[in-house]
Chain A
Amino acid sequence: MIAPRTVLTRLLTHPAFILAAIAALFFGCSWLSGGTVQILTFLMLNILLAQSMNLLTGIAGQISLGHAGFYGMGAYASGILMKTAGLPFVVSIPLAAAIGALSGYLVSFPAGRVREFYLAMMTLAFGLIFREVVREWDDLTGGAVGLSNVPSTTLKNLSVFGVTLDAIDYFRIVVIVTAIVMWLVHNFIQSRHGRAFYAIHASEVAAGCLGIPRAGTKRQAYTIGAGMAGLAGGLYAHMIGYLGPESFDLARSIEVLVTTVVGGLGSMAGQILSAIVFTFLPEKLQVFAQYQFIVYGAILAFSLILLPRGLAGLLLLPPRFIKPASLRRAGTAGVAIRPVDSDRNAALVVEGVTMRFGGLTAVDDVSLELHPGRITALIGPNGSGKSTLVNVVSGIYQPTAGAIRFFGESITGLPDHRIAGKGLLRTFQDPRLVPRFTVRENLLLGAHRRYRTSGLAAALSLPSAVREEATFLASVDAVTRMAGIADVADRPLESLPYGYRRLVEVGRALLAEPRAVLLDEPAAGLSEAEMALLARMIRAMKDAGLMVLLIEHHMDFVAELVDDVVVLDSGRVIYHGDIEGMRKSPAVIEAYLGTSETEAAHA
């Protein structure tokens, strides 16, 4: 018995069904009434807009309350370029997309610096500024009166290469453009680029520590999303023939947001369903026009609460982020860890690192070294500065003083993604994975820094991109076998127990082909069996010549594995040596058990 959701998903995502639907629209439109063709054209534009919003807000997690600004940017660009500058349609439309993309690129600089509701307010302000500028810049935009007589099918003065287009020709163009854009975006989302968007969405810090640059990734999301909105705007301009500021105000931004939220954030198929609902429903409910705003408000107020994954969550299977073609091509010849070439400089050297937060010194003049093929344990009581040190070394904090060198090169104060890019990887005390991704997708995130193919190659699904992905998928398979998680590889992470998440996170670091790994309490909360699997992974890292730093409280676990021990207390190194010596060290005993005096003081 197959669930109805599976059936519907298979049908809607089947290439034959999609091609049939496009063909039906393309050829069938000549039998439809003019009004229906116009609504269908609107539907295509709404789909494009919803996909653009979905990419930016649903996938990359950057909430936008000013999307109509990008849309309007494209509409006015194409309208003005064609009407005033006399450029042909085939030039003005790509330019509309480019100008939309440029506006998104520019907005990403301020927007990339803020998050969450600050971002919501900022994008709201962007949308309002756009409207004000359009209203006031009379000479260019026609101001509040609007820009009329834009070459369009409505006015029958839109021609391409000397042929005057009618509404049906125009609809056909829009269908083809929409289909192509969706195909490109779909390929893009199912590549390392789309996964990087989602990784930024789930946790910027974790993404950065995998070598995914947050600023650059957000810039990409804004540019592509705004480019799509600009394209939709340009196509809108030549359908209607008139542009007024009220078509691009806050209400329009909210309409797009409503469509995207109801469709299901993150799901492309859901956006289509939702765009259909919100294109046809208002038409059918003309009588209730004055209630439309209230209905939209109600949908916004309650849909995320009642239906957090939207129509897509209700009707369809969750979207996946790996191309099936790559999955089919992945062989079984992958290697989990490749031995690292080592050279004279091969070491991670931490020299006199101090980290202060205001008046609090969390790490105080700490020095230590990691060497290839050696496991160093970093231990110490809670609050002794272990995690802070890892945060400094991995680039999340800028040290107050001190230097860090990796393979002879200074990495002090570099941003986290640059440090990860050099092969210095870390895991977190609380596993930071993408909950909606499967184990396989999460692991593949680790390989991000090793990809060489471009976003364009991914969007076009070129053989080189598919091949590259298949190679890494083979490594993913090897890692799942080594970590003992092969049987859950296609389960969403959020459905798995805690122990698996830890193993996935360590495995993910391995896929980055690291030269050094910093593991922050990897064994916390693991069962005996899981701990044995973890120990096997850590030993394999050692055998492959990696440098390993292991923060751990579990002494039996540490004793079995480590070569060196560094003990921190109150931010200072109080012991450095082997584990036997540590057990006898008076300083360590005092830090853990306290002397009689300090015991009395704490009692």
Chain B
Amino acid sequence: MEDFLTLLLAGVSVGAVYGLIAIGLNLTFWTTRTMNFGQGSVMMLCAMLTANLIARGWMQGLAILAALAVIVVLMVFTEMYTVRPALKIEGSMGWAVSTLGVGIILQGCAALWFGSQAVAFPDVIFSAVDNVVIFGVHVSLQYIAVVVLALALVVVFELLVRGTVWGRAMRAVAMDQDFAAVIGIPVRAIVLGSYIASGLLAGISGILVAQIGGTVDPAFGFELVIFGFVAAVLGGMGSTPGALAGGIVAGVLQQMVGGYISSAAQHGMAFALLILILVVRPQGLFGQREINKV
């Protein structure tokens, strides 16, 4: 029972982060119907930079801010030089390949600068041994902190999207770019902003995952993106509550499979789940089937 609860909480915790990753993917999907295939490298780079700066004696908060600042610059570059020009190419081949390329460059650079070995990630929020007792079960504070933080981010994000002028402008861009431009919404800025916000969510997710796992290495992001994509697809592409729910479902399943079947099967499980959900219900658990307009 204790095992089960521990696994469950671990699953919810990591799943909430998958939800965050998925929301990041959704953001650019709304504005441009594109997604950063290199998002995993963004997560990795943010966590790597943070770990590295802290190791050099930077203050933790400052290290995180610096890493996020680098991510902002990176996302601006990605949008301007690899996504926007690639939109001219028919279909999604252009941007899928070009953003994947940026991801690979980053992974290569990280291996070059920091080495390809896993780096220990410092205890930013709580140490892995801090725990509280709930219903007689020892629960890691780190897990709880990650869940709370992820949920808080989702709430703030929803409030921003629903309550602010920028959020409404973004939804207008999502509905119809040309129309949004006609009524004076700065579409370019919104699209760029969606990429920056998407990168920030990915960066924070990277730090959170590294915090839970304890280490980070250059290849750490690729599978995480798939988990994020699983969450987004499970919840229905574009839906924020769906992304969170999908992430938690994926996270709990992953932990359960890892705990009760084999730790090796948990990766395979995610990939198989992705294929299954795309086949059986491509609109996701909460999404509506898109009508293909001919």
Could you list some 9 contacts between A and B, CB below 8 A?
Answer: A116-B96, A121-B226, A121-B229, A125-B275, A136-B268, A257-B97, A297-B103, A300-B101, A305-B85
Interface residue tally of chain A, by bracket? 35 or more
Cβ contacts under 8 Å, B35 to chain A: 117
Would you give the 0/1 interface string for B258-294, flagging 1 where the beta carbon is closer than 8 Å to chain A? 0000101101101110111011001000000001001
Cβ-defined contact, B91 with A113, below 8 A: no
Contacts of A579 in B (CB 8 A): none
Per the bound structure, the CA–CA distance linking A61 and B93 in Å amounts to 9
Contacts of B229 in A (CB 8 A): 121
Q: How far is the CA of A205 from the CA of B94 in the complex (A)?
A: 21
Which residue, A121, A126, A261, A265, has most C-beta atoms of chain B within 10 A? Answer: A121
A282 contacts chain B at the CB level, 8 A cutoff: no
Q: What chain B residues lie within 8 Å of A293 (beta carbons)?
A: 104, 107-108, 111
B268 adjacent to A133 (CB under 8 Å): yes
Please tell me if A304 contacts chain B, counting CB pairs below 8 Å.
yes
Rounded to whole angstroms, the CA-CA distance of A254 and B37 in the bound complex is 13
3 shortest interchain CB distances as A-B pairs: A300-B101, A301-B101, A297-B104
Q: Are A126 and B98 in contact (CB under 8 A)?
A: no
Interface residues of B in 228-276 (CB under 8 A from A): 229, 233, 262, 264-265, 267-268, 270-272, 274-276
Q: Given that A294-B105, A296-B104, A301-B102 are known contacts, is A357 also in contact with B291, CB under 8 Å in the complex? A: yes
Chain A hits for B53, CB < 8 A: none
B112 CB-CB contact with A under 8 Å: yes
Q: Which residues of B contact A65 (CB under 8 A)?
A: 100
Q: Which of A110, A122, A205, A290 lies in contact with B294, CB distance below 8 A?
A: A205
Query: Does A132 reach chain B (CB closer than 8 Å)?
Result: yes
Q: A135 interface residue, CB < 8 Å from B?
A: yes
Measured CA separation A301–B106 after assembly (Å): 11
List the interface of chain B (C-beta within 8 A of A).
35, 37, 81-82, 85-86, 89, 91-94, 96-109, 111-112, 222-223, 226, 229, 233, 262, 264-265, 267-268, 270-272, 274-276, 278-279, 282, 291, 294
A291 to B105, CA, bound (A): 9
**Interface residues of B, dominant DSSP:** helix
Interface residues of A (CB under 8 A from B): 57, 61, 63, 65, 109-110, 113-114, 116-118, 120-122, 124-126, 128-129, 132-133, 135-136, 205, 250, 254, 257, 261, 265, 290-294, 296-302, 304-305, 308, 357-358, 387, 391, 396-397, 428
Supplied contacts A114-B279, A121-B274, A301-B105, 13 more A-B pairs, CB within 8 Å: A117-B35, A121-B229, A129-B275, A257-B97, A292-B108, A294-B112, A297-B103, A297-B105, A301-B101, A304-B89, A305-B89, A305-B98, A396-B294
Contact (Cβ within 8 A) A129 B278: no
- Residues of B within 8 Å of A125, CB to CB, are 226, 270-272, 274-275
Do A299 and B101 touch (CB < 8 A)? yes
Q: Which of B101, B262, B278 contacts A302 (CB 8 A)?
A: B101
A128 touches B267 (CB 8 A): yes
Chain B positions within 8 Å of A297 at CB level: 101-108
Closest to A124 in B: B226
- Checking A128, A129, A298, A396 against B105 with a beta-carbon cut-off of 8 angstroms, the contacting residue is A298
Known: A122-B275, A132-B268. A300 touches B98 (CB 8 A): yes
Q: Is the CB of B111 within 8 A of A122?
A: no
What's the Cα separation between A503 and B4 when bound, in Å? 67
The residue among A129, A133, A296, A298 with the most chain B CB atoms within 10 A of its own CB is A129
Whether B226 contacts A304 by the Cβ 8 Å rule is: no
Interchain CA distance A49-B69 in the complex, whole Å: 41
